[in-house]
């Protein structure tokens, strides 16, 4: 049975650490130049400040997906509590099921519970998920560009 619930990052860290490489291998474009190296101290610091939101997706207790976002007042609109997606992933064997909808509904409930007024999400051009976002009422507002710099 699939369940999606908010959980504390520090309690899930080991389980998440096991899934991060799977996520990285699925989405990273510059694996040679940018190694996977999560800054767990910053995640824990954000969690301690109440600015990290983690919603997990589990199948009979096993972690099969997650949504991680920062939640804080926006720099340009300090009276507006804003969520910024850090990362989300669902294991490949769950991608085509209702798992994504279960996770997104739980994320939306947690945003509402926290009083989030605006949420930002992103999608990889090579792994689009805009249809899902639009299903939940998100609209495209910005496109980011990336460049690897040589040192």
Per-residue pLDDT reduced to its tens digit, 91-148: 999 987 799 999 999 999 999 999 999 999 988 888 887 888 888 888 988 888 877 7
Residue 149 lies in a domain: no
Q: Is residue 123 part of a domain?
A: yes
> Are 55 and 106 contacting, i.e. CB atoms less than 8 angstroms apart?
yes
pLDDT of residue 123: 82
**Could you tell me which residues come within 8 angstroms of residue 40 by beta carbon, excluding any fewer than 6 positions away?**
13
Provide the whole-model pTM: 0.91
142 in any annotated domain: no
Distance CA 146, CA 151 (A): 16
On whether residue 106 sits in a domain, the answer given is yes
Asked, for residue 146, whether it belongs to a domain, the answer is no
| pLDDT for position 13 | 97
Q: Residue 95: inside a domain, yes or no?
A: yes
What local confidence, expressed as pLDDT, does residue 90 receive?
95
DSSP code of residue 148:
P
| Average pLDDT across the chain, whole number | 93
- Phi/psi of residue 23, nearest 5 degrees: -60, -50
Whether 145 is covered by a domain: the verdict is no
CATH code of the domain covering residue 110:
3.40.630.30
Residue 74 covered by a domain = yes
Q: Which domain holds residue 15?
A: 2-135
Share above pLDDT 90 across residues of the chain, in percent, rounded to a whole number: 72
Kind of pairing between the strands at 118-120 and 62-73: unpaired
Count of domains forming the chain: 1
């Amino acid at each position: 049975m699939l369940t999606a619930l908010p959980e504390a990052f520090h309690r899930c860290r080991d389980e998440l650490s096991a899934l991060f490489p799977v996520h990285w291998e699925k989405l990273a474009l510059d694996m040679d130049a940018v190694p996977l190296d999560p800054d767990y101290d910053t995640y824990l610091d954000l969690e301690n400040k109440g600015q990290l939101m983690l919603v997990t997706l589990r199948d009979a207790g096993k972690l099969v997906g997650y949504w991680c976002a920062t939640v804080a007042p926006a720099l340009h609109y300090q009276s507006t509590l804003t969520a910024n997606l850090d990362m989300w992933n669902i294991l490949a064997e769950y991608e085509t099921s209702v798992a994504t909808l279960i996770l997104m509904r739980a994320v939306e409930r947690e945003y509402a519970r926290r009083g989030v007024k605006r949420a930002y999400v992103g999608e990889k051009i090579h792994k689009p998920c805009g249809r899902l976002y639009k299903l939940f009422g998100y609209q495209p507002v910005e496109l980011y560009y990336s460049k690897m710099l040589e040192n």
